[in-house]
Structure 1
Amino acid sequence: MTSIFQRALGADFERLHPRIQRRFSVGLDSGEACTGRGVMDRVWHGGGWVRPFLALGGTRHILVPRAGRDIPFTIENVPFRDSFGRETVTFVRTFAFPDGPRRFDATMVFSPERDRVVDYLGTHQHLATDLDLSVDRTGALVIRSGRHRFREGPVDVRVPDLIGGDAHVRESFDVEAGRFRIQVSVTNRRFGPLFGYEGSFTASYTDATAHGVRADLRPVREEVRA
Structure 2
Amino acid sequence: MKQHASIFRTVLGADFDRLHPQIQRRFSVGLASGEACTGRGVMDRVWHGRGFVKPFLALGGTRNILLPRQGRNVPFTIENVPYTDTYGRETVTFVRTFELPGGPRRFDAQMVLGPQGDRVLDYLGTHQHLASDLHLRAEPDGSLLIRSGEHRFREGPVDCRVPELIGGDAEVRESYDDAAGRFRIRVRVTNRRFGPLFGYEGSFTAAYTDVRMCGVRPGLRPVREEVRA
Q: Please report the TM-score for the alignment, with normalisation by the length of structure 2.
A: 0.98
Give CA-to-partner distance per residue, 1:163-199, whole Å, 9 cap, x none: 0000000000000000000000000000000000000
Q: Secondary structure at the match of 2:87?
A: coil
Trace 1:82-161 onto structure 2 (pairs within 5 A): 82-113=85-116, 115-161=118-164
8 Å CA contact 2:16, 2:24 repeated in 1: yes
Kindly provide the amino acid, as one letter, of the partner of residue 105 in structure 2: R
Give yes or no for the alignment of 1:42 onto 2:42.
Answer: no
- Greater shift, 181-190 or 209-218, is seen at 209-218
How far, CA to CA, are the matches of 2:74 and 2:89 in structure 1? Answer: 33
Counterpart position of 1:215: 218
Give the CA deviation at 1:211: 1.1
In the other structure, the counterpart of 2:21 is 18
- Distance in 2 (CA, whole Å) between partners of 1:93 and 1:83 is 22
Query: Using the alignment, how far apart are the partners of 1:6 and 1:210 within structure 2?
Result: 24
The answer for unaligned runs of 5 or more in structure 1 is none
CA distance in 1: counterparts of 2:15 and 2:216, whole angstroms: 29
Q: Which amino acid aligns with 2:46?
A: V
Question: Deviations 1:58-95 (Å, cap 9, x if unpaired)?
Answer: 00000110001000000000000000000000000000
Return the alpha-carbon distance in structure 1 between the equivalents of residues 117 and 8 of structure 2.
14
2:58 is the counterpart of 1:55: yes
Supply the distance in 1 between the matched residues of 2:38 and 2:215 (Cα, whole angstroms): 14
Q: How many residues align?
A: 226
1:74 is matched with 77
Secondary structure of 2:202's aligned partner: strand
**Secondary structure of the residue that 1:185 maps to in structure 2?**
strand
> How far has the Cα of 1:214 moved from its partner?
1.3
The residue type paired with residue 135 of structure 2 is D
Separation in structure 2 between the aligned mates of residue 191 and residue 47 of structure 1, nearest angstrom: 9
Q: Give the Cα–Cα distance (whole angstroms) in 2 for the partners of residues 109 and 166 of structure 1.
A: 19
Distance 1:129 1:187 in 2: 15
Which secondary structure does the structure 1 equivalent of 2:43 belong to?
strand
Using the alignment, how far apart are the partners of 1:156 and 1:97 within structure 2? 33
Q: What CA distance in whole angstroms lies between the structure 2 residues aligned with 1:8 and 1:119?
A: 13
Gaps in structure 2 of 5+ consecutive residues: none
SS in 1 for 2:219: helix
Q: Report the Cα distance in structure 1 between the residues aligned to 2:134 and 2:101, rounded to whole angstroms.
A: 32
Q: Distance in 2 between matches of 1:145 and 1:33?
A: 24
Q: Name 2:33's counterpart in structure 1.
A: 30
TM-score (norm 1): 0.99
Q: 2-side partners of 1:209 and 1:134: how far apart?
A: 30
Match of 1:195 in 2: 198
RMSD over aligned Cα atoms? 0.7
The answer to whether the 8 Å contact 2:184/2:204 transfers is: yes
Query: 1:9: which partner in 2?
Result: 12
* Identity across matched positions, percent: 76
Amino acid at match of 2:208: Y
Residue 55 of structure 2 aligns to a residue whose secondary structure is helix
